[in-house]
Amino acid sequence: MPAIALKGSDVQWTCADDDTIMRSALRAGLGYPYECNVGSCGNCRFDLLEGEIEELRPDAPGLSDRDRDRGRRLGCQARPLTDCVVNLRLMPQYESRFPPARREAELIEVRDITHDIREFRFLLEKPVRFLAGQYALLGLPGVTGSRAYSMANVENEAGEWHFQIRRVPNGAATGKLFDGLSIGDRIGVDGPYGTAYLRAESDRDIICLAGGSGLSPMISVTRAAAATPLLARRRIDFIYGGRTARDICGEDILAELPGFGSNIHYHPVVSNADDDGWGGHRGFVHELAGKLFSDRLPECEVYFAGPPLMGQAIQKMLIDLGVPPAQVHFDQFY
Ligand code: FES
């Protein structure tokens, strides 16, 4: 097993032959900065000073040619082939409350949520704890690499991890999940990861903004928030956006929670102006959030997840409204 040493310190950890430098550091309890885990965000860049690595995704967008020429690499995509010496700055906020672990998991139940979102329920061979809003890397048989999907449920003793996933047209991973897996099939699950988890200790009101597969972590955050004694003192607003009325979902799940209709409020919004069958809010998620909550947003904890364009528009709206960054929670997968 290669040893990874941090330059200028006595920090050292081991990395399994099939693991990456970043994930092995997190498993060792170190605060290795990261976000997406799939080579997109660039937050896990490090300087490779000594040793050899294999890049799992050589064309990863998180690394520029300039970075590469300077000897930088992505920790989430770097599999060490030898002992290595690296340079990066560890940060305590990235230390995992529950370090990620790799497990086999069995598909035990599937249910449709919309025409293209389905919930997949897996039972881990051995339970692993996680925080509401975190994600896992799924290793699917016959699919190269792993994919990041967020859990929709909250941690439980049985070790069930549920994922609400939107089918990607021609996507290899969702194609496998939707059409190639049967109840009883086993996959690899690696997690938990992510820093956009519920700040359970904060007594601020909560606003959750979601679209597409972003439903999953926002449902998890709301479920966990609804289970805290703080629910009685705070309000949770949940906006879900879809292109058409048939994309809208989540209300029936939230309606099962204590406080729905009194402390928990659901606001669906449809962006396609031609959808005649829709009598509710129209527009984009960030537009409705700005319209309904512009005065309250700077005082709230804001969680969001969804497609890249939605995420970028929300980020801009929150900056324009002066929402403190410490109250904004999302994992950037683009
Ligand atoms: Fe490695 Fe995002 S590029 S965590």
26-50 pLDDT per residue, tens: 999 999 999 999 999 999 999 999 9
List residues near ligand 1 (CB under 6 A): 34-37, 39-44, 62, 74, 76
Ligand 1 center–CA 286 separation, angstroms: 25
Ligand 1 center–CA 185 separation, angstroms: 29
Residue range 257-263: mean pLDDT, rounded: 95
Ligand 1 center–CA 258 separation, angstroms: 37
Ligand 1 center–CA 196 separation, angstroms: 15
Tell me the pLDDT band of 250, cut-offs 50, 70 and 90: very high
**Confidence (pLDDT) at 85:** 98
pLDDT at 314 over 90: yes
pLDDT at 70 over 70: yes
Residue range 225-248: mean pLDDT, rounded: 93
Residue range 278-289: mean pLDDT, rounded: 96
Tell me the pLDDT band of 232, cut-offs 50, 70 and 90: confident
Choosing from 23, 32, 36, 332 the residue with most ligand 1 atoms within 8 A of its CB, the one to mutate for a pocket test is 36
pLDDT at 155 over 80: yes
**Confidence (pLDDT) at 334:** 62
Whether 128 contacts 159, CB under 8 Å: yes
Domain residue limits, the chain:
3-94, 101-193, 206-329
* Homologous superfamily (CATH) for 3-94: Beta-grasp domain (3.10.20.30)
CATH code of domain 206-329: 3.40.50.80
**Confidence (pLDDT) at 184:** 98
Tell me the pLDDT band of 169, cut-offs 50, 70 and 90: very high
Is it true that 3-94 and 206-329 share their CATH fold?
Answer: no
Residue range 275-293: mean pLDDT, rounded: 92
Burial of 44 (0-12, 13-18, 19+ CB in 10 A): buried
* Homologous superfamily (CATH) for 101-193: Translation factors (2.40.30.10)
Using the atom order of ligand 1, give the atom closest to the CA of residue 63: 3
Query: Which of 65, 104, 76, 82 lies closest to 19 in space, CA to CA?
Result: 76
d(CA 246, CA 330): 26
Q: Which residues pair with 267 in a beta bridge?
A: 239
Burial of 180 (0-12, 13-18, 19+ CB in 10 A): middle
d(CA 291, CA 163): 30
pLDDT at 101 over 70: yes
Choosing from 21, 32, 44 the residue with most ligand 1 atoms within 8 A of its CB, the one to mutate for a pocket test is 44
